[in-house]
Amino acid sequence: MSSSATSAVVEPPFGRLTTAMITPFRPDGSLDLDAAQKVAGHLADQGNDALIVNGTTGEAPTTSDAEKDQLVRAVLEAVGDRARVIAGVGTNDTAHTIELAKAAEAAGAHGLLVVTPYYNKPPQEGLKAHFTAVADATGLPNLLYDIPGRSGVEIRTETLISLADHPRIVAVKDAKGDVAAATKVMANTDLAYYCGADELNLAWLSIGAVGIASVVAHAASPAYRQLIDAAVAQDLVTAREIDRRLIPAVEAIMTRTQGAIMVKAALKLLGVIEHATVRLPLVEATTAQVDALTTDLKTSGLVA
């Protein structure tokens, strides 16, 4: 909700370290719930406060509604009270998003990730109506996902400030990368910001983000926990050292090809999953990409 007290400390509604979790598949492309539970347990053990299930990194565009429900339930069972589970429910159809939101609530999710409707490029009034309708549909806290590079439309500053009045719109996962815009929203609301672009984690924490919603944390959760703790303690020297050490890993996972492809390759290298299978239109990492990934993870100190 909005706040005129710009000096108020914003509490992190989903903790500080959150990973946007992959969805494991078997070699034939079928859903692998056992592997999903293993990944979820691994991330909880590595210090994650929350896991985002059924997001883009979870290949949500290619999983069915039934599979999404199964994933939420399986991950909840795996992590117990060790981590909160945020269910990705965003689509470009408000009615469908509401259906997914209600299903996630029924499954036991602790919160909802609601991405900006993509491809149909709604106007800002449409975004406000969409996010409000979804937030009205359940009793769960909503994390809005602002990622214009994928959705084709940003959530403008004025829209976010208006939406902050809703009691269940509590946070923003930001992959827009606009420092000035985010600063203005933080100054005028008590929305909790989570950095949704690993290359900007330290920058976002430094301007007031409460935490990160990471892909690279699949392979680097302990390091990111240390970075967050250093940033919260205002130990910029330590935070900067960790951030710079992780640059090769961030580049390897997030810039060589699509992120879900490379983070599955990373988890296979680390022995967390057996298969790095992705669903079309994604394709598995090439041998050359995996070799480069191995080198970069070693450089970042993430593998021996």
Round to whole Å and give the CA distance between 276 and 136: 38
Residue type, 207: I
Round to whole Å and give the CA distance between 177 and 188: 18
> Closest Cα to residue 97, out of 159, 147, 54, 33?
54
- Cite the active site residues: 145, 173
- Report yes or no: 227 and 242 within 8 Å, Cβ to Cβ: yes
- Report yes or no: 134 and 95 within 8 Å, Cβ to Cβ: no
- Report yes or no: 190 and 3 within 8 Å, Cβ to Cβ: yes
Q: String of b and e for 266-298 (b: at least 16 CB within 10 Å)?
A: bbbbeebbebbbbbeebebbeeebbebbeebbe
Q: Which residue has the tokens 């069915």?
A: 64
- Report yes or no: 229 and 246 within 8 Å, Cβ to Cβ: no
Q: Please, what is the angle between helix 259-269 and helix 247-254, to 10°?
A: 120
Q: Which helix (H) or strand (E) holds 33?
A: helix 33-45
CA distances for 252 relative to 17, 109, 138, 269, 291, angstroms: 21, 31, 38, 13, 10
Contacts of 128 (CB under 8 A, 6+ apart): 159, 162, 163
